[in-house]
């Protein structure tokens, strides 16, 4: 068996700089879950992932992104390089909640 750290190392990524995140909300309906978006609208999933209530992605490094499946398993979506922390533009709609995310951490 090959571990996740070994995969990161094989790609030249230091596991110490990787933040693991698992998106799992289901409270906005079946078609507005991170899992559903990751399969049907990857850009919307990536937008959702960028919107933060607190500085989870603060600093530099890499995010290893996972989503909860309907069977509550973790599905690996991809690696994302952190490029800084700012604010979401006014009028940006969160693809999961359907609400304005303008001004949130982004």
Q: Which two tokens stand for residue 8?
A: 């990161």
C-alpha distance from residue 105 to each of 48, 72, 92, 98 (Å): 11, 27, 12, 17
- The answer to whether residue 78 scores a pLDDT higher than 80 is yes
80-96 tens-digit pLDDT: 999 888 999 999 999 99
- The answer to whether residue 103 scores a pLDDT higher than 90 is yes
**74 by DSSP, 3-state: which?**
strand
Q: Which residues have C-beta within 8 Å of that of residue 38, sequence separation ≥ 6?
A: 45, 67, 75, 77
**β-pair type (18-23, 61-68):** parallel
Considering only CA atoms, which of 90, 104, 99, 84 is closest in space to residue 27? 99
Q: CA end-to-end span of the chain, whole Å?
A: 36
Per-residue pLDDT, 13 = 95
| Reported pTM | 0.86
- The answer to whether residue 19 scores a pLDDT higher than 80 is yes
- Grade residue 25 by pLDDT with cuts at 50, 70 and 90: confident
Per-residue pLDDT, 38 = 92
User: What does the pLDDT average to over 56-80?
Assistant: 91
User: What does the pLDDT average to over 39-49?
Assistant: 93
């Amino acid at each position: 068996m090959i571990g996740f750290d070994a995969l990161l190392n094989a790609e030249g990524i230091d596991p110490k700089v990787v933040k693991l995140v698992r998106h799992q909300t289901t409270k906005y309906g079946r078609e507005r879950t991170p899992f559903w978006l990751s399969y049907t609208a990857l850009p919307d999933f990536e937008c959702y992932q960028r919107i933060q209530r607190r500085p989870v992605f603060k600093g530099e490094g890499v995010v290893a992104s996972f989503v909860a499946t309907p069977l509550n398993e973790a599905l690996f979506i991809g690696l994302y390089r952190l490029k800084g922390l700012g604010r979401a533009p006014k009028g940006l709609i969160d693809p999961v909640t359907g609400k304005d995310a303008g001004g949130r951490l982004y």
